[in-house]
Amino acid sequence: MNQRIYIDTSAFYALIDRSDRFHDQAKSLWPSLLANHITLLTNNYVVNETMNLLHYRLGFAAARLWHKALLGVVDVKWVDSNIHRQGHELWMNLGRLDHSLVDCISYITMNHHQIEKAFCFKACYSEQGYTLLPGITTPMQQVSA
């Protein structure tokens, strides 16, 4: 079976913003993900969050570039009411600033699709038991994306 990896906003953002502290790591990993035919997944909440973050911080052109150049190779899973409800319940139960609602819905999406690895620069994913891709180091503090 083809390996599947979930992509979080923090990785998408790092790929686009050359000033992001994780840009070099993201940029060096991206070609190998594509070359090895790994199935890349995310959900529509991450798409919305990423597009808004890029638009707000880097402008419309950056958001459009990301949408045209990167998102096209990613399988976007749409969050239904059940996944949203489960993610919201998890978010309420965790009640911590380092787990956003989008993060919690991402965890539920990953569980639903049996994905264990994340292309991500946020420690909260590893705290939830997911494996961050090899070679990615994440400080224990929350990153902004």
Q: Which residues constitute the domain of residue 59?
A: 4-132
Please say whether the beta carbons of 130 and 118 come within 8 A.
Answer: yes
DSSP class of 99: S
Q: How far is CA 97 from CA 100, 104, 119, 143, 144, in A?
A: 7, 12, 21, 11, 11
Structural domain total, the chain: 1
Average pLDDT taken over every residue of the chain:
90
pLDDT at 86: 97
Rounded to an integer, the average pLDDT of 95-108 is 89
- List the beta strands (DSSP E) in the chain: 4-7, 39-43, 75-77, 117-119, 131-132
> Per the domain annotation, does 22 fall within a domain?
yes
- Which 8-state DSSP code applies to residue 19? T
Interatomic CA distance for residues 121 and 145, integer angstroms? 9
Sign of CA dihedral 71, 42, 52, 48: positive
CA–CA separation, 53 vs 47, rounded Å?
10
Reported as a pLDDT band with limits 50, 70 and 90, residue 37 is confident
pTM of the model as a whole: 0.89
CATH number for the domain spanning 60: value is 3.40.50.1010
- Residue 113 within any structural domain of the chain: yes
Please report which residue ranges of 39-80 form alpha helices under DSSP H.
Answer: 44-58, 60-69
Q: Which two tokens stand for residue 120?
A: 């991500």
Q: Quick one: average pLDDT of 107-134?
A: 92
| pLDDT surpassing 60 at residue 139 | no
